[in-house]
Amino acid sequence: MKIIFLGDVFGEPGREAVAKYVPRLKKSLEPDFIVINGENAAHGFGINAEICHQFFDLGADVITTGNHVWDQREIISFIEKEKRLLRPANFSKGTVGQGYTIVENDKGQRLGVINVMSQLFMKPIDSPFPVLEELLGEIRLKDNVDAILVDVHGETTSEKKAIGFFCDGYVSCIVGTHTHVPTADTCILPQGSAYQTDAGMCGCYDSIIGVDKDIALQRFTSDMPSERMRPAEGEGAVCGIFVTTDDETGLATDIQPLRIGAGIMESLPVAV
């Protein structure tokens, strides 16, 4: 199975980059599934129903999120009905929406997607480890799914790596989001799960993690009030990973970084 995962989409530059490059990637890589983190797709703050439909129309099978999921309040009613849009599974009990889903393609292949959020330097939230342990008892490779992808939305590399080793051998891929910077630690862990600490951002890289750099710099260099943060303007890039799994085990046989567009050193995967 071949899976494309794209990191946090940030504002209009990110949406335009996704619309520009996803059709090309579908043609060259022929993925079986596409998963996109839509965390900041709506003007840099959350996501709305219209954008979700745009991503689904482009070929996204699942949209993951994170700490900004509720920034656009209209998404609350939408996520109650749309099972392909996830929020972190370790949100408090009673929170609307779902933290995992199973999707099936035209070939009959089944992909399980789990969305969790880490704790360090993030808003207070339940530990992701017990939730993952519970979910991985329900979603099992070569039992009720053919592959499993875990999106870990979090700040620190250490906690993401800990979650990677915790899930190693039980899932096909663990990939981090949230920092908007692609990491260079793409690998297959010892028990066979693909891993990358952060997939990076889909957005304008002539920015400070997607935000207009002049506004961000003013906040760093002055104690005076500044403009409200907004996405940088300019041509965007797409960042993520491309994972191939073994049809017999569901574990990873290959993982490659995916980077294409303006402002970042490109790395184009090759289907194997």
Given a contact cutoff of 8 angstroms between Cβ atoms, the answer to whether 51 and 16 are in contact is: no
Residue for token pair 């009030």: 225
Q: Concatenated DSSP letters for 138-176?
A: HS-BTTTBSEEEEEEE-S-HHHHHHHHHHHBTTBSEEEE
At 209, list the tokens.
């993690």
233 touches 262 (CB < 8 A): no
Q: Which of 53, 68, 153, 178 is catalytic?
A: 68
What token pair was written down for 216? 């961000």
Which among 16, 117, 135 has a CA at the least distance from the CA of 70? 117
Tell me whether residue 227 is exposed, middle or buried, using C-beta atoms within 10 angstroms of its C-beta: 0 to 12, 13 to 18, 19 or more: exposed
Q: Two tokens at 83?
A: 């099972």
Which amino acid appears at position 159 of this protein?
E
Containing H/E element for 19? helix 11-29
Q: Could you give the CA distance from residue 130 to residue 215 in angstroms, rounded to a whole number?
A: 39
Residue 68 falls in the annotated catalytic set: yes
**Residue 156: closest CA among 195, 197, 196, 204:** 197
State the catalytic residues: 68
